[in-house]
């Protein structure tokens, strides 16, 4: 199965098969998790200096900060927009067919 990526703003992509949860950064437990990730060196900031609107938890223990809302990320994933497989299946010679 090909890994799907979703655009999380400012040219940044996240491998969605590695995502466990997408949360708002406003709750105290999420803030503690972000601080712990920063202290442990597993925080990835993809906000490009903007305000954090989403916190993405991965199966590797990394936490990713994004500047777009969890709803936007979720809708992009479920709608299949802005997703790019790393290894497209088939279609190798379609450009040459005619």
Residue 83, pLDDT score? 45
Q: End-to-end CA distance of the chain, in Å?
A: 29
The pTM assigned to this predicted structure is 0.78
User: What are the residues whose beta carbons fall under 8 Å from the beta carbon of 54, sequence distance 6 or more?
Assistant: 8, 22, 23, 24, 25, 65, 66, 67, 68, 69, 70, 73
Residue 80, pLDDT score? 63
CA separation for the pair 12, 46 (Å, rounded): 7
Kindly indicate the confidence band of residue 92, based on its pLDDT and cuts at 50, 70 and 90: very low
The per-residue pLDDT for range 7-20, each reduced to its tens digit, is 999 999 999 889 99
The per-residue pLDDT for range 27-50, each reduced to its tens digit, is 999 999 999 999 999 999 999 999
């Amino acid at each position: 199965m090909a890994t799907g990526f979703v655009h999380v703003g400012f040219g940044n992509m996240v491998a969605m098969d590695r995502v466990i949860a997408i949360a708002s950064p406003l709750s105290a437990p999420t803030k503690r998790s972000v601080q712990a990730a920063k202290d442990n060196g597993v925080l990835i900031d993809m906000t490009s200096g903007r305000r954090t609107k989403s916190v993405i938890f991965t199966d590797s223990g990394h936490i990713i900060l994004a500047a777009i809302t969890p709803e936007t990320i979720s809708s992009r994933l479920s709608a299949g927009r802005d997703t790019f497989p790393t290894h497209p299946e088939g279609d190798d010679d379609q450009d040459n067919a005619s």
